Structure 1
Amino acid sequence: MTDCGCDKARRDLEEYLRNEVCHTEHTDITEHLATCEACRDEALVARTLTDVVARACKETAPEDLRIQVLARLREVQATHH
């Protein structure tokens, strides 16, 4: 078991959460998170934030709102030409 340390774990956290680190680094960070509560908490916050943003990006505005926004944009564009 090689503890990569807090600095490395935090520096590579985003890539780790997206599975963009090599297998060795992934294992090292996983082991570090298992023993370091502060880094584990930071990873939980980052993962939660990433999940919330991803869900928000998949949602679409209600059709009525989209129609209202597009109509207003057209009004503004028409008066500024």
Structure 2
Amino acid sequence: MTDCGCDQAKRDLEEYLRNEVCQANAADIREHLEHCASCREEALLARTLTDAVQRACKETAPEDLKLQVLAKLRAVQASHS
């Protein structure tokens, strides 16, 4: 393993966080993050944002809200026909 450097770590960070890089590259990025506070902070921010988006995507709107939105969309479509 070799430290991949900031440029590669930042370029491949999103793929690394989603486990989409090969094992060798993942090991290099992991090693770099262990020694580089700046990249480690960026990785923490990216992970935090990714987790927040994933949680938000799992939430669903209440059924009555869905019905209200659909009714308004239908009303707007009807008025433009």
| Range of TM-score over shorter length | over 0.9
Give the 3-state SS of the residue equivalent to 1:64 in structure 2: helix
Superposed CA RMSD in Å reads 0.8
TM-score by length of 1: 0.95
Give the 3-state SS of the residue equivalent to 2:61 in structure 1: coil
Q: 2:69 matched to which residue of 1?
A: 69
Q: 1:46 matched to which residue of 2?
A: 46
- List alignment gaps of at least 5 residues for structure 2: none
Q: 2:12 matched to which residue of 1?
A: 12
Give the 3-state SS of the residue equivalent to 2:20 in structure 1: coil
Q: CA-to-partner distance for each residue in 1:20-57, whole Å, 9 max, x for gaps?
A: 11111000100100010100000000011111111111
Query: Identity, % of aligned pairs?
Result: 73
Shift in Å, 1:77: 1.1
How many residues end up aligned between the 2 structures? 81
Q: 2:2 matched to which residue of 1?
A: 2
Q: 1:59 matched to which residue of 2?
A: 59
Residue 35 (structure 2) pairs with residue 35 (structure 1): yes
Runs of 4+ off more than 2 Å: none
The one-letter code sitting in structure 1 at the alignment partner of 2:21 is V
Rounded Cα–Cα distance in structure 1 between residues aligned with 2:76 and 2:4: 55
Give the 3-state SS of the residue equivalent to 2:19 in structure 1: coil
